[in-house]
Structure 1
Amino acid sequence: MATPSVSSFCFVILLCSAAAEALEGGLSVELIHRDSPKSPFYDPSETPFQRAEKAVRRSIACVRDLRSNDEGEPSADISRIDGEYLINITIGTPPVSMMTIADTGSDLIWTQCQPCDVCFPQVAPLFNPRASSTYEQVHCVSDKCHLYDKTFCNTEGFTCQYSAVYGDQSHSEGNISTDIIELTTLSGSPEPVPFPGMAFGCGIKNDGLFSIHATGIVGLSAGKASLVSQIGGYLSRLFAYCLVPFFSTSKYTSKLTFGFDAQLTGPGIVTTPLILKSPRQYYYLTLEGISVNGKKFMVSGSSGPGAVTGNMVIDSGTTLTWLPSNLYGQIVQAVSAAISLPRAKDPIAGYGL
């Protein structure tokens, strides 16, 4: 399989707010693709095709997990566990390193904690809140208890607890807590950037299809509990992620940038509006149509009076682009008619060809 040219895909989100004092310029952290040599998931024995095949199968599983409500929109409690990109954060004092899944489709930050009633196996030690001098449990009356919409009150200790259930019935339950979360920047600075008082889930009942290499999830959605929203007071709630090609062997790395440095301007920059709906768990785009060989195929209901906006979800946990079945069928027919070659057998049996 040929290696694509080294170009980057960049995605920028601006969430307007009255920002507090911002860090100058912002900061960038490394996004680690799960199949890169820097990832704990990396298997050097796999071929590029095998990695691509696994990515396709993860995407298929992801789409199957997206349940719909009566209005045809993804339900609020659905998010993908087995994401494509990882982010390394530290929690506590002294700081404990966590390899977590970066997820634009959920808002809660959580990790497994001691003492754990039910925990899935993980390679790294569990976070011990008693060993952190800056750790605090959140009380029910605290505003931080209501950042996440799946919380309830423990009447015995009057502490805030959460319950997160995912599409494949994997789940995490535990205490909403606060502590210092630090991000290591790509600027070359040896000192990570600390964000004190960050709300996160300290999971003590976690089970399901979790990997041993990841310790939890960092939500990047527009929800109030997400990393983006919580550090927005420092960094103006502006962030971007730029992804190097899937099979790139260049020195460049994918990165996640927060703050004013995330603004992309200049020649060749093309933008399209992001649509935020309630609940603010997903970022949506409006796909109007796709052109093949000069012929445009419109998405039903995306134009004209009463047009539906925000009919596609941006998801960092999915490799492939998925289309409505009727539109996909038209695109396949148009591409087949434009290419005078025998149709090849689908080597992965996942593309619907």
Structure 2
Amino acid sequence: MAAKPSTKALTLIFLIFLSNLNFNEAAGFSVDLIHRDAFLSDSPANSSDRFLHVRNALRRSHGRVRSKASADVLPDKGAYVMKFSVGTPPLETAAIADTGSDLTWIQCKPCRLCFPQNIPLFDPKRSSSYKTVPCNSDTCRIADLQTACNGRTCTYSVQYGDRSFSRGDLGTDTIKLGDTSVPNIVVGCGHFDQGSFGSGTAGIVGLGGGKTSLITQLGKKIEHKFSYCLVPLFSEGSKKSSKLNFGQNAVVSGAGVITTPIIPKSPETFYYLDLKGMTVGNQRLDLVPSNGSKEGEDSGAGNIIIDSGTTLTYIPTEFYGQVRQSVKRQMKLKEIMDPAGQLDLCFELREGEEAAVPAMAAHFRGADVELKAVNTFVQTSERSLCLAFAEASGLAIYGNIAQGNFLVGYDLQKKTVSFKPTDCAAGGK
């Protein structure tokens, strides 16, 4: 997770193993994304442990969406943990990789107030390539960071929606991804860090669209492209690895690909899309622009962000009510309260009964994304099946449940996001 200047819910955890990477201008590279909960238990996917993970994920999701903190990310249990090395000589570390935030930071010596981690602390004094960022530099003045000065050194402060935070010095150092070293990457050296971070992580890797994002800093080296294929979060295959691709490996092509534009908006961190409406069963529901624009007019596009770190899909209150009502009308199962107390519309599953749910689709500008049951419903217990949507109290978010079993590609030069239906557990290409 990383700091964000706006609201966001982060509730999915993966482990990214980066190895044998090569920044070849004519090629790309891929890394594995492994669901973090796969390492917590050897129990089967439909066990009680599975539903505990579901409930925890949903609880974190709601907490973050309601938050109004300036940098709203729920650490550790809602991100991707990425293995990489930092410094010279390189120190192997791991940090949560967040596609909806920018600053990369790790805990550093001296750690004045830190959360426990079971990997070595980075000591900037032992790295010959580490340099502090001066207060009078352009890097210190960039708009997407809360920065200040401590003597001549630029400092940063980020706060998360669950009251987690990191504060420390801003610097630059060499980041090593497998066999490839990338010099002069902006990093935060955290000396005061607290919150719900797990011991297997040392901080955050920011993969958003802002100036300090690792994606932005790599830029031409990865041809401004990356993609991922997420194994559905609560499926039987969720212990299998997903893929995160860069450069030429990130190109999404072939039969079934649909593409929608990324809408330039502030803050640059987020990838904004234009959601036109949804279909539930045979009923098309149009999302009426909040500014009252008529169909065919520019409705202030960029009304939802796509976020691989957010579990649920959050849509505007009135529109959510329409979707909810349409789903409720078309479901044949008995409506019940969510035993987990997290979701708004749930139905009773009877033992041995196959639940039939209405087909749904998300209509983005120029792209109709056909969703399956794994994208729209989630079990919160053995006997409850719930709609994986909620009303947005602020920013609307297209979450990772809806993105499961799609190859999702970002081309930041063309400013597009592409979707391709894919069996992500089978390799994700």
In the superposition, the TM-score normalised over structure 1's length comes to 0.81
Alignment pair present for 1:161 and 2:155: yes
Aligned partners of 1:179 and 1:196 also within 8 Å? yes
Q: CA deviation at 1:317?
A: 2.1
Residues paired across the two proteins, number: 312
* 3-state secondary structure, aligned to 2:181: strand
Report % sequence identity. 44
* 3-state secondary structure, aligned to 1:130: helix
Give the one of 13, 22, 25 matched to 1:23: 25
Give me the whole-angstrom Cα distance separating, in 2, the residues matched to 1:144 and 1:135. Answer: 15
Task: Select between 211-220 and 77-86 the one with higher mean Cα deviation.
Answer: 77-86
Partner of 2:148: 152
Aligned partners of 1:276 and 1:282 also within 8 Å? no
Give me the whole-angstrom Cα distance separating, in 2, the residues matched to 1:166 and 1:172. Answer: 9
Aligned pairs for 1:1-353 (under 5 A) are: 23-37=25-39, 42-44=40-42, 47-65=49-67, 67=68, 77-82=71-76, 83-147=78-142, 148-154=144-150, 156=151, 158-184=152-178, 192-246=179-233, 247-249=235-237, 253-301=241-289, 304=295, 305-353=297-345
Provide the aligned C-alpha RMSD in A: 2.3
Runs of 4+ in 1 over 4 A off after TM superposition: none
Aligned partners of 2:74 and 2:196 also within 8 Å? no
Give me the whole-angstrom Cα distance separating, in 2, the residues matched to 1:231 and 1:76. Answer: 25
Give me the whole-angstrom Cα distance separating, in 2, the residues matched to 1:346 and 1:218. Answer: 34
Give me the whole-angstrom Cα distance separating, in 2, the residues matched to 1:149 and 1:84. Answer: 20
Q: CA deviation at 1:229?
A: 0.5
Q: CA deviation at 1:250?
A: 7.7
Q: Which amino acid aligns with 1:33?
A: H
Q: Which amino acid aligns with 1:309?
A: A
Aligned partners of 2:93 and 2:120 also within 8 Å? no
Q: CA deviation at 1:95?
A: 1.8
Aligned partners of 1:104 and 1:314 also within 8 Å? no
Aligned partners of 1:62 and 1:318 also within 8 Å? no
Q: Which amino acid aligns with 1:127?
A: F
Aligned partners of 1:33 and 1:84 also within 8 Å? no
Partner of 2:393: none
* 3-state secondary structure, aligned to 2:275: coil
Q: CA deviation at 1:212?
A: 2.6
Give me the whole-angstrom Cα distance separating, in 2, the residues matched to 1:248 and 1:231. Answer: 35
Are the structure 2 counterparts of residues 180 and 26 from structure 1 closer, same or farther at C-alpha, using a change threshold of 3 Å?
same
In structure 2, runs of 5+ residues without a counterpart are 1-22, 346-429
Are the structure 2 counterparts of residues 116 and 312 from structure 1 closer, same or farther at C-alpha, using a change threshold of 3 Å?
same
Q: Which amino acid aligns with 2:250?
A: A
Task: Select between 83-92 and 42-51 the one with higher mean Cα deviation.
Answer: 42-51
Aligned partners of 1:150 and 1:163 also within 8 Å? yes
Q: Residues 253-281 of structure 1: CA distance to partner in whole angstroms, max 9, x if unpaired?
A: 21221112211111111111122312212
Give me the whole-angstrom Cα distance separating, in 2, the residues matched to 1:145 and 1:32. Answer: 35
Q: CA deviation at 1:76?
A: 5.4
Aligned partners of 1:161 and 1:176 also within 8 Å? yes
* 3-state secondary structure, aligned to 1:254: strand
Give me the whole-angstrom Cα distance separating, in 2, the residues matched to 1:340 and 1:77. Answer: 42
In structure 1, runs of 5+ residues without a counterpart are 1-20, 68-74, 185-191
Give me the whole-angstrom Cα distance separating, in 1, the residues matched to 2:220 and 2:70. Answer: 25
Higher relative contact order (CA 8 A, sep 6+): 1
Q: CA deviation at 1:248?
A: 4.3
